[in-house]
Structure 1
Amino acid sequence: MPCLKSEGMMEAMKQVKAIFTLLCIGSLFTFFPEMPAAWAAGDSLPVNQMEQIVKKRMDEGKIPGMAVVVVRDDQVDYKKGFGYADRRAQRPVTPSTLFEIGSTTKAFTGLAVLQLEKQGLIRLQDPVSRYLPWFHLHYKGKKQPITIEQLLHHTSGIPFESIGRIPAGSGEDALENTVRTLVGGELKHPPGKKYHYATINYDVLGLIIQQVTGQPYETYMRKQVIQPLGLRHTYVGRQDGGYREPLAQGYKIGFLGPRLYKAPTYRGNTPAGYIITNADDVAQWLKVQLKTERTKIDQKLIDDSHRPDRSVRPSDDGAFYGAGWMVRPGDNGELFHGGSNPNYSSFFIVRPEDRMAVGILANLNSAHAHSAAREIMNAVTGARESPELSDSFQPVDKAAVGILSVLAPILLLVIIGAGMRVRRIVQGKRRFVRLDRKRTVFLGLAAGLSVLFFLSIYNAPKVLFQGLPWDFVKVWGPSSVMVAVGTVLFLGSACFFYTLLTLLTVQADDHTAVDPGKGQIRSG
């Protein structure tokens, strides 16, 4: 009996140990419920899946070239170029290929602003007018002070469509000229009351940096931000020049495919969108955000740049704005920002809890670059969220091509018809007549409809393109759009001209019309 009792106790102890082990394992999943699938699978990246994502997004977005970076902790786990930096020359994208990064530039400018605050050269609560005395805007006719902090967090009230008035130019005064386009303008809402993204907020910050330091924005950024960060392949705008690495050609959608496009120079928009870099330096930049790469920049400034303004409601996707970063709080919080220029795009995502970051650079402005970054992050971390996609350029391009395919033949017929009438006038087979009451009414109606037509075309962007002007659409929109608009205008003009020929001339042998020479009805 003692022996049986001992064996029973041993068996019971084994069961207790087994249950305890299961409880311990279960507790791991309780405390770490978001353990990434990629980590659980042995610290290996799903490379095949990632590359399928990139190729699919490039194909769907018609993106010529893309560079991809994946960083984990202090390691660059993946870095590769896809497609072409130059389609005509068949020059491939590599990790050293340079791209404009668009609005992901803002995080660099934001860091510089925080740096100047630490040095005591500015205060975030100061009104902009303290540094730029001529800077003032209004809300409902009343002048409103705007602070540096409100510019930093996009709560200034400056409207989004202010981007449409940014002038092209590469002169030394380009930045000031850009900021001066705001002076005396109307705010969308009172400062500090609401988040409303306006890219030009960061151009104002760039001018403040320039004013306070007594240096051109580009010079200060290069010496005090870019170089201390250890970014050896990053340039502040096109005017920085001296690229040691090849720059990808920029493209934009047009006539159902990517078309080489050389955008105007917007030096005045450099603080908001025109830093140039490559995948090698993006990897370094992302490690800095993960706090796994120490640089000469105070780490507290990096932390401060991740701190959003929670005094206002978040954006529609639940994110608050920091200093050049969108910040989505929570257990699975992330930092992210997209960048779009007329012929380039980028997207960076940093997930501190997962200690992961993804960067995408592309030489075409496309939401597919943003989606590729999110899908890669999800593949790496095992997340299941579906990235939202809203690429408006291709649908607009298809619509423009559709309009052209319908209107071009009609325009040709109208031109032929008008040409035949002109020819008959020259041959003496048609003659001009004096306007009678009926013809005058029809002519007035045609003129009125033509004026209404041309005004509608002129104001169409206010409805179709968020209030942005045609000059902006010409630069940013698909190349087919302005051809379609030109065709519509030409068709309208041709129709009006044809109508004039119809109203003002008759067959030479028609004796029922008023003879302009005699001013009377001819009855034969």
Structure 2
Amino acid sequence: MKKIVSVGLIWTLLFSMSVSVFGQELINILPSGISYDEVGTSIENIVLENEATTAGVAVAIFDRNRVIYENSFGYADVENQLKVDSQTVFDWGSSSKLLVWVSVMQLWEQGKINLNQDIRTYLPEGFLHNIDYEEPVTMKHLMNHTAGFQEIVSDLFLKDKKNVLSLGDALKKCEPEQIYEPGTVTAYSNWGVALAGYIVESISGIPYDQYVRENIFEPLGMRHTAISVDLSDNERVSKERDKLQSYTKEGKLLPDSFYYIQLYPAGSCVGTLDDFRKFAQALVSTDNEKSELFDKKTTLEQMLSPTAYYGDTGIPSNYHGFWGIEYSISVLGHGGNTAGCSSNLMIDKNSGVGIVVMTNQQNESIYNWDMLNLIFGSFKDSQYADYNTSAPKGFFRTARTITKGPLSIYSVSIHNMEEDELDSFWIYTEENGIEKQINPYGDMLKLKPSEYIPMIILVIFSASGIIYSLIILVVGGLIITPVSNMINKKRGRTIAPSATRKWNYLACGLQLIWGINIAMLYYQVTKYAPSEHYTWQFVVNGIIAIAIIVMIAFLIAKRKTIFYSKKEKARCITTSIFLFMALLAIQYWHMYEFWAL
């Protein structure tokens, strides 16, 4: 009998050990199906394949209990062969926004904020001036980027520290127009997130950067991360950031690429990979323990619960500020870009597996997005991979645009979806009378013919008019007229330029000046010049508009006496048409509204 019991105990022990080992093997498999032990080699192979265009990259993969893989590659400064190591700091970019949402949820946990309350409850009286809809803007709208604000491009990045304002003053200076009713359209908004950071500041009674340091960085031991607009809250990080060079995604140097991000809660965090990983890992705390970020375990669960969906599909698109992204599984997190760095933080809240990536390359995607297939699997293996089988027809414009004010020409960018874009998740729907394509990070709105046809016509005529004017001035003014005068002089004839020729040259010169002004304006805005540097150019647009009206009025008034030939008449009419279309463009895109900048 004892022998039988002993044999039974041995078999039971062996069986339990095999189950334990088998279970451990299952646990050590990433959502993609790759084992923990293999993922490092796979990542290193990707780096090797892209070595020619890689500057510097740091990556960490983790689960709830440990760091699965952590490594760095390449150079923080290629020219001086300064390698990326554990001390190298990178910009978080928009991944910094997650610090805002964690801060908000901490205040929510303490009962200091209601996510569904009108945000004006938490702001100084009269702080907001451009709220145009009766539907109140709530914190949840800010989290979901559905507050309805148009994009801002002025004074977001600054080179001169002297131009940096306090957070409250910066928000008031560049307050955007509200162009959508709250809750109807997802339009990504840096300003909206910075406003949420200011609300944290208003409720807590301390500056936002101080709040983050005391309530996130210090509890997590993030000693190598800075959040202040000028990185002054961490001198070591500031010095390390000075050593970092930045590059294009093709590996070309981007000199002097550090900017002060005035709306700093939206994207100014800078730190090491290890600190970035600590923050991300705190978002996937163990089943039996609460996160170090919150007093209650349920707060983290609440934060990682959905707050917005892809239409009526029931598929989450946002989780209290964390974007929902579809790989083979549903993950959530936030990517980030600055003028010189790219980053990404993504977690699977079910398995507890996550990844953080940091690079010193602008708009980098191989490591920040494509490589994540190794961790979470490819979207083609998702249960939603066959959700959309054909691209929607028509023209679309990103909801993240500008339709009011002097920079509304920003809205010219329109998009026709191609079949090769079907390899990511999106849905096409109609909500509240708005036809749109819902994507991660924001909506694409379908344009009506009455919206895109005028834009196309104005762009074509404006570009054609500038080219036409250049040809007239160069060919006519610099070649034909001097040659004609030379010939007439040899023949002993002196022919004064006709009034129509003078008018035509003056009109073409006016249109060419407008084109140059627009090109200069584009350069200033894209190079992040302070708005004070180009406000005068909108004044110039207004003067040009008045001059065009005078020029056309003069031609109409003198039409019976000024023309000497049908050829001159045809030339002046052609020039007048281009002038008139330029006037329409200035009016259509409000290019003269310097006061609304």
What range is the shorter-chain TM-score in? 0.5 to 0.7
Give the distance between the partners of 2:35 and 2:251, measured in 1 at CA. Answer: 43
Contact 1:229 1:297 survives alignment (8 Å): no
Q: Whole-Å Cα distance in 1 between the matches of residues 153 and 318 of structure 2?
A: 19
Over 3 Å counting, the alpha-carbon distance change for 1:246 and 1:455 in structure 2 is closer
Does residue 173 of structure 2 align to residue 181 of structure 1? yes
* Aligned residue among 480, 501, 512 for 1:450: 512
1:378 and 2:373 aligned: yes
Residues of 2 paired with 1:106 and 1:176: CA distance? 17
- Structure 1 position 471, deviation (Å): 3.5
Describe the SS at the equivalent of 1:200.
helix
The equivalences for 1:77-476 within 5 A come to 77-130=68-121, 131-138=123-130, 145-159=136-150, 161-166=151-156, 168=158, 170=161, 173-183=165-175, 185-237=176-228, 238-243=231-236, 246-247=240-241, 249-253=244-248, 257-266=252-261, 268-292=262-286, 294-295=291-292, 297-298=294-295, 299-310=297-308, 313=311, 320-328=317-325, 332-368=329-365, 371-380=366-375, 383=378, 385=380, 435-454=497-516, 457=519, 470-475=523-528
CA distance in structure 1 between the aligned counterparts of 2:244 and 2:213, rounded to whole angstroms: 23
Q: Offset at 1:98?
A: 0.9
How many angstroms does 1:91 deviate by?
Answer: 0.9
Secondary structure class of the residue paired with 2:61: strand
Q: What runs of 5+ residues in structure 2 fail to find an aligned partner?
A: 1-18, 382-422, 426-466, 483-488, 530-597
Aligned to 1:49: 42
Query: How many angstroms does 1:129 deviate by?
Result: 2.0
The answer as to whether partners of 2:154 and 2:174 remain within 8 angstroms in 1 is no
Distance 1:33 1:471, change over 3 A: farther
Aligned match of 1:64: 55
Contact 2:328 2:380 in 1 (8 A): no
Q: CA-atom RMSD, angstroms?
A: 4.4
With over 3 angstroms needed to count, the CA separation of the structure-2 counterparts of 1:436 and 1:148, relative to structure 1, is same
1:489-504 alignment to 2 at 5 Å?
none
CA distance in 2, matches of 1:143, 1:347: 36
2: CA distance between counterparts of 1:89 and 1:214?
45
Say if 2:308 and 2:319, in contact at 8 Å, map to a contact too. no
**Paired amino acid for 1:176:** G
Q: Distance in 1 between matches of 2:356 and 2:144?
A: 23
Q: How many Å apart are 1:330 and its aligned residue?
A: 10
CA gap 1:382/1:303 in 2 versus in 1, 3 angstroms = same
Distance 2:227 2:153 in 1: 20
Q: Which has the larger radius of gyration?
A: 1
User: How far 1:118 sits from its partner (Å)?
Assistant: 2.1
Q: Deviations over 1:418-464 (max 9, x none)?
A: 8xx99xxxxxx99x9964325313323422431453365367x6xxx
In structure 1, the residue corresponding to 2:332 is in which secondary structure?
strand
Partner of 2:486: none
Deviation of 1:300 after TM superposition, in Å, equals 3.2
Residue 452 and residue 46 in structure 1: after superposition, are their counterparts in 2 closer, same or farther (change >3 A)?
same
Query: Which whole-Å CA distance do the structure 1 matches of 2:157 and 2:273 have between them?
Result: 30
Deviations 1:345-401 (A, max 9, x none): 101121233432111101122242xx4244433324555649869xxxxxxxxxxxx
Deviation at 1:167, TM superposition (A): 6.2
Measured against aligned partners, the alpha-carbon deviations of 1:289-334 in whole angstroms (never above 9, x if no partner) come to: 221484253343332322231367399xx75122331124899321
Contact 2:72 2:84 in 1 (8 A): yes
Aligned to 1:21: none
SS in 2 for 1:145: coil
Matched residue SS, 1:46: helix
Q: Provide the secondary structure at the position in 2 that maps to 1:372.
A: coil
2:329–2:376 CA contact under 8 A, matched in 1: no
Q: Distance in 2 between matches of 1:436 and 1:92?
A: 69
How has the CA–CA distance of structure 1 residues 255 and 380 changed in structure 2, closer, same or farther, with 3 Å as cutoff?
closer
Shift of 1:272: 0.8
1:278: Cα distance to partner? 1.2
> How many Å separate the matches in 2 of 1:42 and 1:347?
22
Question: Which region of structure 1 is more displaced relative to structure 2, 66-75 or 241-250?
Answer: 241-250
**Cα contact 1:345–1:363 (8 A) shared by 2:** yes
Report the TM-score when normalising by structure 2. Answer: 0.58
Q: Look up the SS of the partner of 2:184 in the other structure.
A: coil
Deviations 1:194-253 (A, max 9, x none): 322111111101111222222111111101221112322222132323126833524243
Instruction: Give 3-state SS (helix, strand or coil) of 1:191's partner.
Output: coil
Alpha-carbon distance between aligned partners in 1 of 2:363 and 2:240, rounded to the nearest angstrom: 22
CA shift for structure 1 position 128: 2.4
Change (3 A) 1:66 1:35: closer
One-letter identity of the residue aligned with 2:305:
R
TM-score normalised by the chain length of structure 1: 0.65
For 2:333 and 2:86, locate their aligned partners in 1 and report how far apart those are by CA, in whole Å.
Answer: 21
**Aligned letter for 1:228?**
P
Q: Which amino acid aligns with 1:473?
A: T
Aligned-residue identity in percent: 20
* Range with greater deviation from structure 2 (377-386 or 299-308): 377-386
Tell me the distance in 2 between the aligned counterparts of 1:261 and 1:47.
33
Cα distance change on mapping 1:375 and 1:364 into 2, 3 Å: closer
Q: Which runs of 5+ in 1 are unaligned?
A: 1-24, 390-406, 423-428, 462-469, 477-524
